[in-house]
Structure 1
Amino acid sequence: MSDEQAGLPEAKSTPEYSAPALDKGLDILELLAETEGGLGQLEIAQAIGRSPGQIFRMLATLERRGYVFRERQSGLYTLSMRMFELAHRHEPVRALSAAGLPVMRRLADELQQSCNLAVIDAEMVRVIAQVESPSDFGFRVRVGALFPLDTATGLVLGAFRATGSGAAGAAVASPGILDHSVFEKMLVETFLELPDSRQPSITDVVVPILRPDRTAVAALTVPYVATSISAKAPSTVIERARRAAEEIAESLALAGSPHPRLVP
């Protein structure tokens, strides 16, 4: 029996529901997240197309709940660390950080290079953990930073998402980004070594953290900085990064993580 026959309203593909108060609150949070320094009530109202009176109670509520902070002397509002705290309460992030950070610290110490762990978040790459290089040279990224899927880390995560067949990644890895042979090699050897298109002198070494079905739960990236005092050769960086990815997978109880052995 169809919805129409049952007397029910016809289902719509996109529900036309709205929550104006929630929209206001999210507009405020997103604005403050994108703004360096604080904003006054009038500035916030003008930026989101509201009147000061319309956002007064919302700001008071966000302040009371700890999502924004108001400096008493200037009256300027800034985003607090509350949302960062909530994100790190999320079980997948906690589990990945707990499993990854000890391994990443050992990797950074051995290679004298920084490394980070990232996941796909709403068709972007989100960095969830970072360990800085213990040497004087290194490249770091901010925990929580977002990058597009056409980065080296995004290409690896895209290639090993969904079915693990690489079909989703193939849509991202266009000929202008990755040569077909390089893409196929990445799928077979489960790592990507690629010069960073945004940061000269950096080569990204990216290894997926794989489940047994060859889908990636995350990606481990070493932004390799080549200097005259670099402790390890690129081939060693790849080998150690792949080994670290396997250790993280084992810590996450992803038994049988299918990283093939590299042939010397």
Structure 2
Amino acid sequence: MTRPKEQEISVRETADVVDAGPRYSAPALEKGLDIVEFLSRAEKDYTLAQIADNIGRTKGEIFRMLAVLETRGYVERVNDGEKYQVTNKLFRLGLRRPKYKSLAVIATPIMELFAAETRYACHLAVPTGNQIAVITRVECPDPVGVTVRVGYRQSLLETGSGLCLLAFMSAANRNRAIDAIKVDDPWLDVDALEGRLADIRQQKCLIEPSGVMDGVWDIACPILEGVGRGAIAALTVPYVKLVTNPIDPEAVAKHLVNAASRITSALA
């Protein structure tokens, strides 16, 4: 039997309303995620009371949740146990994704060859929200050099890796990243940033003073994911001119461009 047309419209409209919202509610999980997400954005450590206040919960609501998160290794106590900070456990879990595992596996031998040729350390960074995260590194063979630890996170705008990623990632990903940056920096001059990124794209390799360490230069090249899909990672060298290794930054950059190109080709 055919239903009246009006009823068919009513059923579809009801389905649209249901689909528009969350299907299920898990209050305990939401509390845990609120805590982890808040601490992951925090630039300092917080007490239980401060965490509760910032996420709009009571101390009683989050006391047990914090205890479980601490037991499972997602948060840890600092400052004599009075305050909490997020650990790198979620980051380590993320690195187990096949995408990042394969990228690190492919890149590592090429990075090792680069380090042997130039005697400089290098690391591979990927974008995550408004930050970069270092997923693998290769030490320099010399006893003296600058390295960045795996798991290190920093603003996209403060590092050569981040600026390289912003410049060479797809337009859609760049717009999303800039929107994420503007959440923390609503006064960001987007036009000036776009001009700076356009200048970087004119080069094959970024070479500029580090925004984090005085006396260090960032040399960074993009790792591309197919034609037109943009950068998915940045291969970066923290460069300091050493008496024992007088190679200039332009020469290091040439080796880095070659290494990044080989990684890109291997990913194809």
Question: Which aligned pairs between 1:120-159 and structure 2 lie closer than 5 A?
Answer: 120-150=127-157, 151-159=159-167
Matched, 1:106 2:120: no
> Quick one: distance in 2 between partners of 1:196 and 1:117?
16
Q: 75, 91, 97: which is aligned to 1:90?
A: 97
**Aligned-residue CA RMSD (Å):** 4.1
1:79: how far off?
Answer: 5.4
1:244: how far off?
Answer: 1.0
Correspondence for 1:185: 202
Quick one: structure 1 residues 176 and 81, their matched pair in 2 at CA, closer, same or farther if it must change by over 3 Å? closer
- Read off the aligned partner of 1:47 and give its amino acid letter: I
> Quick one: distance in 1 between partners of 2:166 and 2:142?
31
Instruction: Give yes or no for contact 1:161–1:168 (8 Å, CA) kept in 2.
Output: no
Q: 235, 239, 243: which is aligned to 1:224?
A: 239
1:87: how far off?
Answer: 1.4
- Read off the aligned partner of 1:127 and give its amino acid letter: V
1:184: how far off?
Answer: 4.9
Instruction: Give yes or no for contact 2:39–2:85 (8 Å, CA) kept in 1.
Output: yes
- Read off the aligned partner of 1:219 and give its amino acid letter: A
Matched, 1:55 2:72: no
1:100: how far off?
Answer: 1.4
CA-to-aligned-CA distance 1:142-165 (integer Å, 9 cap, x gap): 32222222232222212221259x
- Read off the aligned partner of 2:127 and give its amino acid letter: I
1:232: how far off?
Answer: 2.1
Instruction: Give yes or no for contact 1:207–1:245 (8 Å, CA) kept in 2.
Output: yes
> Quick one: distance in 2 between partners of 1:237 and 1:119?
21
Query: In proportion to residue count, which structure has more helix?
Result: 2
What is the TM-score normalised by the length of structure 1? 0.71
Correspondence for 1:259: none
Quick one: structure 1 residues 185 and 35, their matched pair in 2 at CA, closer, same or farther if it must change by over 3 Å? closer
1:84: how far off?
Answer: 3.6
Q: SS of the residue aligned with 2:202? A: helix
> Quick one: distance in 1 between partners of 2:118 and 2:210?
19
> Quick one: distance in 2 between partners of 1:249 and 1:66?
35
Quick one: structure 1 residues 101 and 242, their matched pair in 2 at CA, closer, same or farther if it must change by over 3 Å? same
- Read off the aligned partner of 2:114 and give its amino acid letter: L
The percent identity for this pair of structures is: 33
Matched, 1:207 2:207: no
- Read off the aligned partner of 1:134 and give its amino acid letter: P
Instruction: Give yes or no for contact 2:217–2:238 (8 Å, CA) kept in 1.
Output: yes
Quick one: structure 1 residues 136 and 177, their matched pair in 2 at CA, closer, same or farther if it must change by over 3 Å? farther
Instruction: Give yes or no for contact 1:159–1:168 (8 Å, CA) kept in 2.
Output: no
| Unmatched 5+ stretches in structure 1 | 255-264
Number of paired residues? Answer: 244
Q: SS of the residue aligned with 2:14? A: coil
Instruction: Give yes or no for contact 2:129–2:177 (8 Å, CA) kept in 1.
Output: no
What is the TM-score normalised by the length of structure 2? 0.70
Quick one: structure 1 residues 16 and 244, their matched pair in 2 at CA, closer, same or farther if it must change by over 3 Å? same
